[in-house]
Structure 1
Amino acid sequence: MSNWKETEIGRIPSHWRVGTIDEIAAVVTDGAHSSPKQFIGGRYMASVKDMTYDKFVFTDCKTIREDDFQKLKKQGCSPQKGDILISKDGEKCLDLIFVYNQVDDIVLLSSIAIVRLKDGFNPYFYRYFLLSYVAQTIMYKWFRSGSAIPRVVLRDFKKVPVPIMDKREQDEIANKIQKLDQKITLLREQNKTLEELAQTLFKRWFVENENPEWELKSLSEIVNIKIGRTPPRKEEQWFSRSKEDVKWVSIKDLGKSGVYILKTSEFLTQEAVDKYKIPLIQENTVLLSFKMTLGRVGIATETMVSNEAIAQFVPKRKEITPEFLYFYLKTFKYQKLGSTSSIVTSINSGMIKDMPVTVPDKDSLSHFSIAVKTIFDKIKSNTKEIQSLTQLRDTLLPKLISGELRVIS
């Protein structure tokens, strides 16, 4: 008798079986379908925009009145510790899935699904399964709808097939992956601290102690600005997911990366780059998103290309370093470029060229670059280690989740 069996989620051990989320969940719900008015200093009401890979960041989270908060809490819009939270609407639909384990008492908007498992089921194991390639493929193919605004209907989450096995096996698999995740999280937090330190130095040198003798120029006077391109989407032969092809940076990639861009979700063939004359981005070039989502900044780590929503900046002078440009673009107040009081979400290439920049003297720029070089080198080193650990985790994940790789206690 075979130790394996073929199922709709792939090959699994014969002593496992396939069920559904509806079978293992006590509750499948979502957040509020109406949003109370903002109340500064009130209680947190989180949405997908506040989600990261493994937790909420409440820096820009909406806050509401206590009575509105309690009303929504009674309606079941508040996650409990151990709930699996899933982004189910918008650009990040199905991308963000984590187990809620924060101390904050919050309520959610309907863009986030809440899955509360029954006793005997490890939420971390099922979180990792839902992030796996097989589960993502099933959910994208069967349940994700809408091209302009992707979404998953709440009732469809109940139909998602999942493996069911002994709780001990769930725990062992989840613990193995969690150890890698914890290392990745520590490195990300270290990078955040390092970037904040370097940004503090930038502000101290060039904002708080600005020299009146420094020249005010337009950005195009100190850098050459190039805009990326997209081949015709209907011609699928130009697009690729092969790492052998040219990395093609999108706004989404800038949002997922930190200071340095190592990974892109899509690639272009070299033929596409040549045919459509897509400008190459060289290593250590600073990038800026300027359409749809304004103000995301990153630094290229190798030769790559981008789409038309991203600009690259090539210094005309040696002393204009990537570190200086990165923080100039990162801290620039883009709302100043708007001609009305409405929120600015996009600008054009002409507006980028005319952006004002106070150019420090050569010595100040040189000393700043020397001061932050070791910080940026450490951030880059950490970023590469994060990618290596992430690849290891993503390689182990399907093998562990499918039972192909067994964990020995």
Structure 2
Amino acid sequence: MTDETMGTMELKKYKLGKILELQRGYDLTYTEMQKGDVVVAGSNGIIGCHNIEKSNTPCITVGRSGSVGKVHFYDGPTWAHNTALFVKDFKENNPKFLYYFLKNLHLDTMFGQSSSVVPSLDRKVVHSLTVPFISDISKQQRIAYLLSDYDKKIELNRAINHNLEAMAKQLYDYWFVQFDFPNEEGKPYKSSGGKMVWNEKLKRDIPDNWDASNICKVADILSGGTPSKAIATYWENGNLPFFGPTDYNGNIFQIETADHITQEGLEHCASSLFEDGIIIITARGSIGKLVIVGTPMAMNQSCYALRSKKEEFEYLYFLAIQLVECLKAKGSGSVFKSIITSDIENSILCIADTHTITHFCEKVKPIFQKVKENTKEIVALTKQRDELLPLLMNGQVSVNYDLSDD
């Protein structure tokens, strides 16, 4: 390959098969993937583990069937499952650069939406694609370094959030499940002999002055709705986030959504504009997922919202998790098809006294605030990275060498 000049000049194009070589992953049974020290990657992530033979380090996979076209990168030894293609030969290119390069091709959009025509991704078809490519290895390294920095910071924020949530959850369980909240002397209530009273509704002992009731004792239930898709002015150039179950991404706080509506659209749908701190629970589709509204947004009819009566959403969030667990238990632990208002109203939970709830929220409020700040930063960094990726890959912008020179 010959070199090309970065900037606004057009890059030289190559057949993808000249840039890298893909190979189908290995046929592994379910039993074989339950042993060994090396992870097995399928079309959309890690699905098991196996022994170290024939593993690849690093490993780039492209979904062959299932999540067609999805691209993943693994630093350590990795087996590729037969539901994925993997890069067998990097052709002396920077592996991390090739990962970002493949992501920028959007093979999932190119082939995944035509699954009825292309049930699986043929590596020969991928190899035949003609694409612009930066062949200069030093430029590849600088681009890979810059984009990796974005990903590292995003993953660090996610790890911090995971730990912070675990800390808050641990305190909640200690206070509201084990009933060892601080008594008047600051000692663990139940462990220190605090008065426990049998509750007939819950069929167990609960702290004195606590109650057995539904979540409506501390929250209002709100519904959503969708403005007509047939009226363009409800949707075009909308700037109000509009949440649906598919927007759930695993974060505690919901900051952005795929769809947006206009103010006119908001005025013509059953949903209110929900403020920060309201809990959304998905009721159909992806059922029982919880998020805290992190920026004002509306929601569709496949969700319910829980609004704390005293703006103590931190307690309400974990209580709502218990509500979902209760609903799952009623469904014999299996996946339930939907949640309706009566399901929420008929689920009896142990509700703490107002003093303990307020004390807990004061304790964990800084934790939730930090999680929210980190989530907003994740959204901003992801947007910056995704906007920068095509510009770098198309040679429209270049990376200053000093940025990647330690």
- Scaled to the shorter chain, the TM-score interval is 0.7 to 0.9
Instruction: Give 1:280 deviation, angstroms.
Output: 2.4
**Alpha carbons of structure 1 residues 127 and 230: separation in structure 2 relative to 1, 3 Å:** farther
Partner of 1:125: 97
Check if 1:400 corresponds to 2:400.
no
Q: Quote the Cα distance in structure 2 between the aligned partners of 1:355 and 1:186.
A: 37
Shift of 1:199: 0.8
Deviations 1:270-327 (A, max 9, x none): 3322223333222111111222222321111222112222221112x31x62111222
What is the CA distance between 1:170 and its match in structure 2? 1.2
| 2:58 alignment partner AA | G
Q: Report what 2:273 is aligned to.
A: 280
Q: Secondary structure at the match of 2:366?
A: helix
Deviation at 1:107, TM superposition (A): 5.3
Q: Pick closer, same or farther for the CA change 1:23–1:229 going to 2, 3 Å.
A: farther
| 8 A Cα contact 2:275 2:295, kept in partner | yes
Please state whether the residue corresponding to 2:295 is helix, strand or coil. coil
TM-score, normalised to structure 1's length? 0.77
How far is the alpha carbon of 1:189 from its aligned partner? Answer: 1.0
Hey, what does 2:357 align to over in structure 1?
A: 365
Identity among equivalent positions (%) equals: 23
Instruction: Give the corresponding residue for 2:59.
Output: 83
| Contact 2:234–2:261 (Cα < 8 Å) also in 1 | yes
Equivalent runs, 1:264-343 vs 2, <5 Å:
264-315=257-308, 317-318=309-310, 321-331=312-322, 332-333=324-325, 334-338=327-331, 342-343=334-335
Match of 1:251?
A: 245
Q: What do residues 150-203 of structure 1 show as CA deviations (whole Å, max 9, x unaligned)?
A: 976344443444332222221111111112221222121111111111111111
Give the Å deviation of 1:37: 5.8
| Alignment CA distance shift 1:122-1:62 (3 Å) | closer
CA contact (8 A) 1:125 1:171 kept: yes
CA drift of 1:329 comes to 2.6
Q: Cα gap change, 1:323/1:42 in structure 2, threshold over 3 Å: closer, same or farther?
A: farther
Instruction: Give me the CA root mean square deviation.
Output: 3.5
Q: Structure 1 residue 359: deviation in Å?
A: 0.7
Work out the CA distance in 2 between the residues paired with 1:37 and 1:267. Answer: 45
Indicate if the aligned counterparts of 1:291 and 1:310 stay in contact, CA closer than 8 A. Answer: yes
Q: Secondary structure at the match of 1:255?
A: coil
| Consecutive unaligned residues in structure 1, runs of 5 or more | 6-10, 64-68
Assess if the C-alpha contact under 8 Å between 1:219 and 1:354 holds in 2: no
State the one-letter code of the partner of 1:366. T
Q: 1:224 aligns with which of 220, 224, 240?
A: 220
TM-score of the superposed pair, with normalisation by structure 2? 0.77
Say yes or no: does 1:378 pair with 2:354.
Answer: no
Structure 2 residues without counterparts, runs of 5 or longer:
181-205, 402-406
Out of 106, 113, 126, the position equivalent to 1:144 is: 113
Give aligned pairs, total.
367
2:121 to 146, 153, 156: 153
User: Structure 1 residue aligned with 2:9, among 3, 13, 17?
Assistant: 13
Taking structure 1 as reference, are residues 169 and 36 closer, same or farther at Cα in structure 2, changes over 3 Å only?
Answer: same
Distance in 2 between residues matched to 1:171 and 1:355, nearest whole Å: 56
**In structure 1, what is the Cα distance between the partners aligned to 2:118 and 2:273?**
31
Aligned to 2:131: 162
Measured in 2, the distance between the counterparts of 1:345 and 1:115 equals: 40
SS at match of 1:197: helix
**Residues in 1 aligned to 2:55 and 2:340: alpha-carbon distance in whole angstroms:** 41
- For the 8 Å contact 2:43–2:61, the answer to whether it is kept is no
2:161 matches 1:188: no
Match of 2:249, SS state, is: helix
Q: Is the 8 A contact 2:281 2:289 kept in 1?
A: yes
Q: What are the Cα deviations for residues 26-83 of structure 1, in whole angstroms up to 9, with x where unaligned?
A: 2232465x8636987777655466x3xxxx5xxxx567xxxxx57xx98xxx762222
Q: Which amino acid aligns with 1:127?
A: Y
| 8 A Cα contact 1:249 1:305, kept in partner | yes
Structure number with bigger Rg = 2
Aligned 8 A contact 1:145 1:152 in 2: no
Query: Any conservation in 2 of the 1:172–1:407 contact (CA below 8 Å)?
Result: yes
